[in-house]
Structure 1
Amino acid sequence: MPFKKLKGGDYLLAFDHLVVYGESIENDIEKASKQNEVVVVKGGHHEPWGTYNYLAFMNNNSYIEWLGIEDKEKAHASDNPLIQHTAYAHQQKMEEPIQFALRTNQMDKLIHHFNKQEIPYQGPFPGSRVKPDGSTLKWRMLFPKYQMNDEILPFLIEWEGEGNQPPNEESVNEMDFSTIQVGVSDIQKASKQFEQTYRLGQPKIIHNQNEHYIAEWPLDNGRLQLVKGEGLKANFGDLVMSR
């Protein structure tokens, strides 16, 4: 799916996927399928990381990833920040959304931006997964540094070729991603960090009934919001994924 081009030649980031950790993701997806009528398909295995996943594809080129650990030694030894975060979630028994990815086709440009602005980061990390049909899916991930026990900064992903596409039309859920909310302790401070890190520009400020405000940015396929609180909350039609 093409990205919307902005003034100056940049492209609008898109919400790619929500990462949900579970001790038994098979039970989690069975519950999601029954309670919310969500179509979930097997993703595959990440052999070097000791992880595997199941996926729920949505209408507007987004999806939910249930990520599980099948080799604890590999997962805990990984230098990939997402796998480190997954291993941390395993230790803390955090069966919930733990991260999300913003999709880009300008990763090299973002790396240059990070270097120029002296923004600490890790990567890019190559990723690959053998799909159930035997083909190999490849991508790159870039991680602004963050403290996983204190804050969440989404990682950036760039897919090779057509990217992570559903195996067939029947695998796509008739619901769209609309909003991802990130809970933060200081909205003003976090807004500046998100602006600088992801080149988002100034946010739209929305005042709510709790005497707090929401900082909001447009994405290619939805909205990114910072709210007072903790954790992640993602909306896909009537489906809400949160702690």
Structure 2
Amino acid sequence: MTNQKSEFQLDHTVHYVNDLEEAKAAFQKHGVNVFHGGSHKLWGTHNALAYFELTYLEFISVENWETAKNPPEPNLIAQSALTYLPEQEALSRIAVRTDDLDAVSDSLKGSGLDVSPIKQGKRTDSEGRLIEWRMLTIDGDYNGLLYPFFIEWKEADPERLKTLQQKGLTTHPAGDISLEKAVMETADPEAAVRNWHELFGFETISPVEIQLGGKILHFKKGTAGRLTELHFQTNNSALAGTVVTLGSGRYVFAHS
């Protein structure tokens, strides 16, 4: 792949849950702001979000089971909710932000991967505002580890951040919190890092770590084959040392 590591960012993570209100409450009791995002009417899902600057957590739940099972516009990320729910509330994939999704798509042609066409995404937020993006998904896995997906927002990063800040969505009652590291569990961490570097041009900083815009992807040996943990830093001494467990996902807060 063409080396594009300077433009790649960890955009967000996906956690499938049965009840958005329960997910919100699990974090809000620790002073972490989680708010209702909106509905994906064509996919049958809806979400709740927690922002740490532009990087965010996305909790996805099924809003309409009939639409989710027979979507007019199928989407791998939304349809994966049916793989896990209701039995397993699982952290799943990461979304990687790029400002040139067409280049990503072109670079993956001939890779042998099951790459989707670039699709338009949209949802309305709680204020009725239309949020739009383009995305590209990769079905399947490498040695059991789910691939990331890629997203390009219609609005440029500075404008998106300004809007989020003006709405107060990037601030938390607990104070300053930053997402530092995402932990991926796979049978062969070093092989997975090499594979993602070769396919996507991600920057490797150790045999088991990738860096995306200052955020670390740490690959550890295990059987889950997906994202399992997220690590945060906070200046709040009460929050530091807290571990929030939601389904099979762990959210670890440490003192900055």
| TM-score (norm. length: structure 2) | 0.79
The aligned residue for residue 68 of structure 1 is 61
Query: Is residue 78 of structure 2 the alignment partner of residue 80 of structure 1?
Result: no
User: 195-204 vs 81-90, which deviates more?
Assistant: 195-204
Q: 1:71 and 1:202, CA in 2 relative to 1: closer, same or farther beyond 3 A?
A: same
Q: 1:107 to 1:240 in 2, by over 3 A?
A: farther
Matched, 1:30 2:25: yes
Counterparts of 1:62-211 in structure 2, within 5 Å, are 62-78=55-71, 79-91=74-86, 93-147=87-141, 150-162=144-156, 165=161, 166=164, 168=166, 170-172=168-170, 173=172, 174-205=176-207
SS at match of 1:52: strand
* Post-superposition offset of 1:33: 0.6
Residues 1:149 and 1:8: Cα distance change in structure 2 (over 3 Å): closer
Partner amino acid, structure 2, of 1:220: G
**For residues 112-132 of structure 1, what are the alpha-carbon distances to aligned partners after superposition, in whole Å with 9 as ceiling and x for unaligned?**
110144433113221100112
Distance 2:68 2:126 in 1: 21
- Equivalenced residue count is 225
Partner residue in 1 for 2:39? 45
Q: 1:10 to 1:154 in 2, by over 3 A?
A: closer
Aligned mates of 1:159, 1:88 — CA distance in 2? 26
Shift of the 114–22 alpha-carbon distance from structure 1 to 2, 3 Å rule, reads same
1:236 and 2:232 matched: yes
Gaps of 5+ in 1: 1-6, 206-214
CA positional deviation for 1:240: 5.6
Cα deviation, residue 146, structure 1: 1.6
TM-score by length of 1: 0.83
Alignment check: 8 A CA contact 2:203 2:211 kept: no
Q: Tell me if the contact between 1:184 and 1:228 (Cα under 8 Å) persists in the aligned partners.
A: yes
Which residue of the partner structure matches residue 3 of structure 1?
none
CA RMSD of aligned residues (A): 2.5
What's the secondary structure of 1:37's corresponding residue? coil
Give identity over the alignment, percent. Answer: 23
Give, as a single letter, the amino acid of the residue that structure 2 aligns with 1:11. Answer: S
